[in-house]
Amino acid sequence: MVTLAERNRIRIRASFISIVVGAAICAAKFAGYFATGSFAILSDALESIINVAAASFVAYSVIQGTRAADGSHPYGWGRLEYFSAGLEGSLILLAGVWILYESVPRLVSGNVVSRMDLGLLFVGGGTIANALLSLYLTRTGKKYHSVALTADGAHILTDVFSSVGIFIGLILVALTNLPWLDPLLAILMGLWILFSGFLLLRQSYFQLMDRASPEITAEVMAALTASRRPEMIRPHRLRLRESGQSVHVDFHMIVPRYFTVRQLHNLEGEIRHTMTGNMERPVDLLLHSDPCASSDCYACAMPECPVRARAQSKTLEWDSALLTDDFNHPAHRDG
């Protein structure tokens, strides 16, 4: 299993690779613009500037996210990555608006381009490099749970799609020699950039608002189920909070009311150990123990219980409704 320190090194390395490769691609696209005068290529190059600026902030957020929690930041620094994704989405929106502002007038006046062979060479090479970079960042971000790297990879992937469109459009410009086709390509790219920026902002907003992720909820539920023991009568009020690569988990567990403090402490330690072993991400667990009542006997599998009022009559399934609801789920009620 990869250690946390190694995860951090891989994430930081990936963020710096994004900066270096992005800067080289940006330079190539600007070279294509100066060689051709194509405004479509210029719009593609301007988006690459956004890529480099965003990648720089991603690197900063990833580095800061490796810092340990302290008195001022008790939950650590991982949520800075969500601000990075939001900033990247905002920069993309600004780039899209600027491209539309500059391109619409040229749709009427037209734009003369030259040396399309060089333009196709620079755009094609940059597109291939961006596709490889996007694949690398997305895989690294998902494998090592970095929202910032995943968002950066998704952003670069939109750049790949738009560059493919521009590449095809430039071929049409060369074949048709229509002066309005080049700014039309830039306008279409501007609209695509606006859409991709909106998606990134939406994702960042959901994460900052602690929206429950179905994937991480299912992962936590599976790990919690794997730790199930007879003394764990009924969990409820499960709450999750993602912070960078870490997951903060807190929930209530109904336990036998005669358990000692040491027994409760050992139970929490066993649950934490099982969840840590079953999840790839670091887990910060907070368990609140609730004493059982006689009405809980129907779901209690505790053998030789000294306070049992009646025999067990039901085995509760630990589904999402049972874990996230309080006491309103039908399974909570003794039928």
Question: Which CATH number characterizes residue 81's domain?
Answer: 1.20.1510.10
Tell me the one-letter amino acid at 80. Answer: L
Residues 8 and 140 in one domain: yes
Reported as a pLDDT band with limits 50, 70 and 90, residue 326 is low
Q: What is the pLDDT of residue 54?
A: 77
Residues 196 and 55 in one domain: yes
Report the distance separating Cα 39 and Cα 112, nearest Å.
9
Determine contact, residues 242/207, Cβ cutoff 8 Å.
yes
Domain-ending residue, one of 208, 228, 260: 208
Specify the DSSP class assigned to residue 299.
G
Report the distance separating Cα 28 and Cα 45, nearest Å.
8
Reported as a pLDDT band with limits 50, 70 and 90, residue 226 is confident
- Residues paired with residue 284 on neighbouring β-strands, in sequence order: 248
Determine the straight-line distance between the first and last CA of the chain, rounded to whole angstroms.
46
Q: What is the pLDDT of residue 329?
A: 43
pLDDT of 330 above 50: no
Determine contact, residues 77/65, Cβ cutoff 8 Å.
yes
Determine contact, residues 138/161, Cβ cutoff 8 Å.
no
Residues 165 and 241 in one domain: no
Residues 234 and 202 in one domain: no
Residues 274 and 191 in one domain: no
Report the distance separating Cα 186 and Cα 100, nearest Å.
7
Residues 180 and 284 in one domain: no
Residues 150 and 130 in one domain: yes
Percent of the chain predicted with pLDDT > 70? 85
Name the least confident of 85-99, 241-255, 278-292. Answer: 85-99
Name the least confident of 120-124, 183-187, 248-252. Answer: 183-187
Residues composing the chain: 335
Task: Give the model confidence (pLDDT) of 147-186 as tens digits.
Answer: 678 877 877 887 787 788 778 877 887 787 776 777 787 7
Residues 171 and 221 in one domain: no
Quick check: pTM over 0.85? no
Could you give the residue ranges of the DSSP H alpha helices within 177-260?
A: 181-208, 214-226
Task: Give the model confidence (pLDDT) of 8-39 as tens digits.
Answer: 788 788 888 989 998 999 898 888 888 887 77
Based on the structure, what is the number of domains in the chain?
2
pLDDT of 333 above 60: no
Residues 194 and 170 in one domain: yes
Determine contact, residues 95/47, Cβ cutoff 8 Å.
yes
Domain-ending residue, one of 208, 241, 271: 208
CATH assignment at residue 258: 3.30.70.1350
Q: Which residue matches tokens 């749709």?
A: 107
Domain-ending residue, one of 143, 174, 208: 208
- Residues paired with residue 285 on neighbouring β-strands, in sequence order: 249
Residues 298 and 321 in one domain: yes
Task: Give the model confidence (pLDDT) of 300-323 as tens digits.
Answer: 999 889 999 889 888 888 877 777
Residues 200 and 52 in one domain: yes
Residues 247 and 162 in one domain: no
For residue 230, give its domain range: 214-332
